[in-house]
Amino acid sequence: MARYIFITGGVVSSLGKGLMAASLAALLQARGFRVRIRKFDPYLNVDPGTMSPYQHGEVYVTDDGAETDLDLGHYERFTGVSARQSDNVTQGRVYQTIIQRERRGDYLGATVQVIPHVTDEIKAFALADSDDLDFVLCEIGGTVGDIESLPFMEAIRQLHNDLGRNRSIFVHVTLVPYIAAAGELKTKPTQHSVRELTSLGIQPDILLCRCEHPLPESERRKIALFCNVRPEAVIPALDASSIYAVPTQYHAEGLDDEVLRAFGIENAPAPRLDRWHDIMDRQQNPEGEVTIGVVGKYVGLPDAYKSLYEALTHGGFANRVKVNIKWLDAELFEEEGADIAARLEPMHGILVPGGFGVRGSEGKIASVKFARERNVPFFGICLGMQMACIEGARNTAGIANASTTEFGETSEPVVGLITEWMSKEGLQKRTAETDLGGTMRLGAYPAKLTGNSVVAGIYDATDISERHRHRYEVNAGYREPLEKGGLIFSGMSPDGTLPEIVERPDHPWFVGVQFHPELKSKPFDPHPLFASFIEAAVKQSRLV
Ligand code: GLN
């Protein structure tokens, strides 16, 4: 039966608990253990699907079609284990489930309460689907002391009792700030945070102390003494040069050893870290660099494009180059007299990412035109593919009014609402009135690629499966004029109705995909489309 590692955070948010969980899981996996990571989010949204990327960062989509927290992206990138719907639960979903049950009368007249009903539901979520695992890591979102995370704290406290001491441990991530005026690291916030945690009945086994300066042995002992943990279990976690350096850094500080010790596991094999050393070697010793311009809407908050950023970096690993990403606000391209060429000429590749709504769309379409005309490698993802089709329709197929119904009524709906598609659950139907939450075409769907196409060469396959998150689709009825204009439909849904990939074979590299390949890229297994796009950008960099 699986052992459980509960991960909480204290002092401040944004300490990188998700990365910590992902790195610890990677270290345990490197020792041969089977791992899975779960995230508990205390907010009341049922899932992050309807939340603004500005507020919450990217929505990470799983194979089974769940819209989840972006930390699940880290989990998957670091362990290679595909995340599932059952790996992310929000308080909103917990309450939704309970209230639906209450309305059905399932509680047989009982008063429905936070303890035990909400806590039981959280416990059931933590325990589900874990038979074939050695470790389940559960990350609790938020910071200790938040009102909304209390039911989760209570649930993991109970679970620790239910499971027994050698089946579960608590890791608490805290901050040890450096006060420049005093020239000292301060342990008091950590002491307070642990006191808060113990007042909830949770005694941490391991403290992971985020700090900007090395933690002196004296401070380590002080934290140990006040927080009732062994000095060796106070793990300093200095800021790392790259997120991919974190697993080896935590290993050097003894994190995985302490975790195994806390469980009483002796003689575990040493971790095989070659994969992480290779990634670091590629990152630290690049043989060149390229600059990619990402023309999008949420460019002020890089977390909004988290997986995209990582996938481009992985494409760099594959080619042993550093990828510089320039986030370009599409709206600026729409201003009177905007010199688009001047902004895009320094780019070795142009990428238009996924997005929603009309804002900035003309700027995106203008970037596609620039890339097409100037033979600059172009990658369009989801909305980016749709923009490439509209650009192709307007400028190479003579359909001047080409648009998408997402932006309002149009006489030439080159992109329109998907009203019907086949999923594993059967025929899906949607109308313009359908709810916004959880109703897009979501998750993994297969596609068939044309045998001699550019993309079939890149994938080295004609049957692929990729993750989707869209409500609109390119209208296959426009295939003929678009193909006459050089934009070839080289990937379709297996029934031939939904365009999945378009490409321009007469261009150095021009590919648009309806899905999100960035979600499946791993540092140790870069996605072929990103590896190929960066390869094309390297060629471009030699030309300019
Ligand atoms: N807004 C577009 C759609 O819903 C594209 C979505 C996306 O880029 N994820 O189809």
Instruction: Give the model's pLDDT for residue 432.
Output: 72
Q: Are 367 and 295 in contact (CB under 8 A)?
A: yes
Comparing 3-278 with 286-415+473-543, is the CATH topology the same? yes
CB of 513 closer than 6 angstroms to any ligand 1 atom: no
CA-proximal residue: ligand 1, atom 5 (nearest): 383
Domain ranges (residues) in the chain: 3-278, 286-415+473-543
CB of 407 closer than 6 angstroms to any ligand 1 atom: no
| DSSP letter string, 467-485 | EEEESEEE-GGGHHHHHHT
327 CA distance to ligand 1 centroid (A)? 19
Instruction: Give the model's pLDDT for residue 516.
Output: 97
pTM of the model: 0.92
307 CA distance to ligand 1 centroid (A)? 16
Q: Are 33 and 134 in contact (CB under 8 A)?
A: yes
What is the share, in percent, of the chain residues with pLDDT greater than 70?
A: 99
Q: Are 53 and 241 in contact (CB under 8 A)?
A: no
Structure tokens at 300: 């002020």
Instruction: Give the model's pLDDT for residue 54.
Output: 76
Is the pLDDT confidence value at 438 over 70? no
Q: From CA 390, how far away is CA 474, in angstroms rounded?
A: 9
411 CA distance to ligand 1 centroid (A)? 20
Q: From CA 299, how far away is CA 303, in angstroms rounded?
A: 9
- State which ligand 1 atom lies nearest to the alpha carbon of 357: 1
What are the angstrom distances between the C-alpha of 264 and each of 166, 257, 267, 522?
7, 10, 10, 32
If you average pLDDT over every residue of the chain, what do you get? 93
Q: Where are the alpha helices (DSSP H) in 105-254?
A: 119-127, 150-163, 188-199, 217-227, 246-252
What is the share, in percent, of the chain residues with pLDDT greater than 90?
A: 80
Q: Which of 86, 9, 96, 83 is CA-nearest to residue 45?
A: 96
CB of 471 closer than 6 angstroms to any ligand 1 atom: yes
Q: Which residue out of 308, 403, 469, 514 has the highest number of ligand 1 atoms within 8 Å of its CB and is therefore the one to mutate? A: 469
Mean pLDDT of 143-171: 94
Active-site choice (209, 518, 527, 535): 518
Instruction: Give the model's pLDDT for residue 15.
Output: 87
382 annotated active-site: yes
CB of 416 closer than 6 angstroms to any ligand 1 atom: no
Q: Are 7 and 142 in contact (CB under 8 A)?
A: no
462 labelled binding-site residue: no
What are the angstrom distances between the C-alpha of 72 and each of 61, 85, 87?
9, 10, 8
Is the pLDDT confidence value at 161 over 70? yes
* Low-confidence winner among 98-102, 163-167, 463-467 (lowest mean pLDDT): 163-167
Per-residue pLDDT tens digits for 77-129: 999 999 998 999 999 999 999 999 999 999 998 999 999 999 999 999 999 98
64 labelled binding-site residue: no
Per-residue pLDDT tens digits for 250-309: 999 999 999 999 999 988 899 999 999 999 999 999 999 999 999 998 777 878 899 999
488 labelled binding-site residue: no
Instruction: Give the model's pLDDT for residue 402.
Output: 94
Active-site choice (56, 117, 172, 516): 516
389 annotated active-site: no
Q: Which fold has domain 286-415+473-543?
A: Rossmann fold (3.40.50)
184 CA distance to ligand 1 centroid (A)? 49
Helix/strand/coil (H/E/C) assignment for every residue in 20-87: HHHHHHHHHHHCCCCEEEEEEECCCCCCHHHCCHHHHCCCEECCCCCEECCHHHHHHHHHCCCCCHHH
322 labelled binding-site residue: no
527 annotated active-site: no
514 CA distance to ligand 1 centroid (A)? 8
State which H helix or E strand residue 441 sits in: strand 441-449
Mean pLDDT of 503-517: 97
Is the pLDDT confidence value at 544 over 70? no
- State which ligand 1 atom lies nearest to the alpha carbon of 471: 4
In CATH, 3-278 is 3.40.50.300? yes
113 labelled binding-site residue: no
Instruction: Give the model's pLDDT for residue 317.
Output: 97
Q: From CA 152, how far away is CA 543, in angstroms rounded?
A: 56
Active-site choice (382, 500, 503, 507): 382
Amino acid at 275: R
Q: How confident is the model at residue 440 (pLDDT cuts 50, 70, 90)?
A: confident
